[in-house]
Amino acid sequence: MTARAFDLVIRNAKVTTASDTYAADIGIVDGCIVQIGRQLGPGAREIDAAGRTVTPGGIDAHCHLDQPMAPPVRLADDFFTGTRSAACGGTTTVIPFAAQRKGGTLRAALDDYHRRAGGRACVDYAFHLIITDPTPSVLRDELPELIGQGYTSYKLYMTYDRLKLDDGQILDVLDVARQHGGMPMIHAENADCITWLTQKLEAAGKIAPRFHALSRPALVEREGAHRAIALSELLDVPVLLVHISGAEAVEQIRAARVRGLNIYAETCPQYLLLTALDLGIDDSYHGARCVCSPPPRDTDSQHAIWQGLADGLFTVVSSDHSPFNLEGPDGKTPGGQEVAFRHIPNGIPGIETRMPLLYSEGVLGGRISANKFVELTATGPARTYGLYPRKGTIAIGSDADLVIWDEREFTLANEHLHHAVDYTPFAGRTLRAWPAMTLLRGATVWDGRDFTGTAGGGAFLRRGLPSIAAIGLRTPARSAWLRDALPRVGAASPVSADPAPDLAPDRAQSPAPPPPAQPA
Ligand code: URP
Ligand code: ZN
Ligand code: ZN
């Protein structure tokens, strides 16, 4: 009798990576891919992919789960329901946000988030930091230490009163990135313009959901993107601009890239598929369901973003899953009231629909190749956020996070989804694909009909430095000037970028740190 060489073999796969498409079997041992080839030996378990496309499991690098909100508002998904939904839509790694409280430490935020995710997450996870209070000790000690410990990305807001930083504070954080690495992410919208426009609209009685889009026009994002790019250029550090929505911001990023600047960009399905009209054509409250920031734009912006996906301008497609219920007092009608647009919780759900929408509209719609789909949903996020090649590809040594795709048409309804939200803004759309199976480190977490994962089945991921930034397009003259002009800050022990999978220090699942001493 032949010995079983593998725990699992996926046979007859159309293996699809960011660079290649080929027919092969995939051999898996201990949750890792150990062999790829024709006619592999037997496995203890076998799955026949029957020639269907097999991609790496998706990485949703921008989602909000169980993030504390000002009462009565509350995110509908916690780490269990949010990651269950992710798994059923083909996503096997999520990177939500741990937000610093003003006056609090980054460590306290992380301890709180580890407590929320530990034992609950059904797919692997890491955290971006949100820095709201860059005090001297955060800049000198905490942030460098945490970068060294594998928290290698941090989001900075230019808008939202409770979160925003001024330009000097953003430069302070970018200066830490210059010395210690990591990927600063910027939410680029001009706060003062938004406040001014909101006041003018309210004074004119224009408070319906649709006026949310008018309070944050594309120009406001364009200005924020331009300023973020200038700040990045000043210190010669990479920056990733999150949730890009408008053609004008796309132009700014394109100009920066043409100049060789180290600027990266993310967009989301809502900016490819929704427009400002989805916020309403009259003053009905129905449009509250699509209120998010930045708001969806117009068809010209949709085209500019599709073009940017196809030609490499964008590195990452995320969901920006920010789930608020339509019904009840804790979501889009805070306290059970229909409110002026400025008080509508910002955000829409999308963690489960991100991959199927992009596969349907992008790949099967003929707008991007299947390889580009993999690059945007898995490989790009892995390289941007220090997870590659453990995550984000199909290669020997990588985790066996895999999606087998079923190409069939159906009309999407919220009842199909596994989040805890009472709607999807994409209901009624014809989808042309959905995962037939999702595997997390070789274990089936979605079998095409049911969620088959477990709470606590997801592992915390300690991350390396981003490889795209480590090999970024530095300008030698400017860098030399910076070395002379600016002293080093803090003392970091930078983690290496993209360790080879078999050398990765975090091959073993890193246990979550002990529970925090104090709830924040
Ligand atoms: O409206 C949105 N996008 N809410 C989530 C918060 C953010 O800025 O990403
Ligand atoms: Zn944002
Ligand atoms: Zn977000």
Task: Give residue-wise pLDDT tens across range 347-364.
Answer: 999 999 999 999 999 999
What's the DSSP call for residue 240? Answer: E
64 lines ligand 1 (CB under 6 A): yes
Residue nearest to atom 7 of ligand 1 (CA): 293
Q: How far is the CA of 158 from the centre of ligand 1 (A)?
A: 12
| Residue 496: Cβ-neighbour burial (10 angstroms; 0-12, 13-18, 19+) | middle
Which ligand has the shortest distance to the CA of 188?
2
Q: How confident is the model at residue 511 (pLDDT cuts 50, 70, 90)?
A: very low
User: pLDDT per residue over 56-99, tens digit each?
Assistant: 999 999 999 999 999 999 999 999 999 999 999 999 999 999 99
pLDDT value at 480 more than 90: no
Which ligand has the shortest distance to the CA of 186?
2
Quick one: which atom of ligand 1 is closest to the CA of 347?
A: 1
User: pLDDT per residue over 137-167, tens digit each?
Assistant: 999 999 999 999 999 999 999 999 999 999 9
The answer to whether 341 touches 367, Cβ cutoff 8 Å, is no
- Look up residue 412 and give its two tokens: 């999407």
187 lines ligand 1 (CB under 6 A): yes
252 lines ligand 1 (CB under 6 A): no
Q: How far is the CA of 403 from the centre of ligand 1 (A)?
A: 27
Q: How far is the CA of 297 from the centre of ligand 1 (A)?
A: 15
320 lines ligand 1 (CB under 6 A): yes
454 lines ligand 1 (CB under 6 A): no
Helix 218-235 and helix 191-203, axial crossing angle in degrees, nearest 10: 160
The answer to whether 288 touches 325, Cβ cutoff 8 Å, is no
Q: How confident is the model at residue 508 (pLDDT cuts 50, 70, 90)?
A: very low
Here the contacts of 361-366 (C-beta below 8 Å, separation 24 or greater) are 361/269, 361/272, 361/273, 362/272, 362/306, 362/309, 363/433, 364/407, 364/432, 364/433, 365/432
User: pLDDT per residue over 367-386, tens digit each?
Assistant: 999 999 999 999 999 999 99
What pLDDT sits at residue 231?
Answer: 98
Among residues of the chain, what percentage have pLDDT more than 70?
90
296 lines ligand 1 (CB under 6 A): no
Q: Which residues of 85-114 are buried (b: 16+ CB within 10 A; e: fewer)?
A: bbbbbbbbbbbbbbbbeeeebbbbbbbbbb
The single residue listed with the structure tokens 């088959």 is: 452
Helix 247-258 and helix 218-235, axial crossing angle in degrees, nearest 10: 20
Quick one: which atom of ligand 1 is closest to the CA of 293?
A: 1
pLDDT value at 475 more than 80: no
Q: How far is the CA of 187 from the centre of ligand 2 (A)?
A: 5
Q: How confident is the model at residue 471 (pLDDT cuts 50, 70, 90)?
A: very low
What pLDDT sits at residue 481?
Answer: 66
Q: In the predicted model, what is the mean pLDDT of residues 285-312? A: 98
293 lines ligand 1 (CB under 6 A): yes
pLDDT value at 210 more than 90: yes
d(CA 520, CA 171): 27
Q: How far is the CA of 52 from the centre of ligand 2 (A)?
A: 36
Query: Of 1-10, 194-203, 293-302, 324-333, which gets the smallest average pLDDT?
Result: 1-10
Average pLDDT over the chain reads 92
Q: How confident is the model at residue 510 (pLDDT cuts 50, 70, 90)?
A: very low
292 lines ligand 1 (CB under 6 A): yes
Q: In the predicted model, what is the mean pLDDT of residues 117-123? A: 98
What pLDDT sits at residue 483?
Answer: 67
Q: How far is the CA of 293 from the centre of ligand 2 (A)?
A: 7
Quick one: which atom of ligand 1 is closest to the CA of 157?
A: 8
User: pLDDT per residue over 17-62, tens digit each?
Assistant: 999 999 999 999 999 999 999 999 999 999 999 999 999 999 999 9
In order of start, what are the domains of the chain with their CATH numbers? 55-446 (3.20.20.140)
Q: How far is the CA of 253 from the centre of ligand 1 (A)?
A: 20
Q: How far is the CA of 348 from the centre of ligand 3 (A)?
A: 10
Q: How far is the CA of 382 from the centre of ligand 2 (A)?
A: 20
Q: How far is the CA of 97 from the centre of ligand 3 (A)?
A: 8
* DSSP helix, strand, coil percent of the chain (3-state; round to 5): 35, 20, 45
pLDDT value at 516 more than 50: no
Bridge-based pairing of strands 430-431 and 316-317 is unpaired
Q: Would you call 129 helix, strand, or coil by DSSP?
A: strand
Closest CA to 370 of 322, 442, 309, 411: 309
d(CA 106, CA 91): 27
346 lines ligand 1 (CB under 6 A): yes
379 lines ligand 1 (CB under 6 A): no
Q: Which residue out of 60, 62, 64 has the highest number of ligand 1 atoms within 8 Å of its CB and is therefore the one to mutate? A: 64
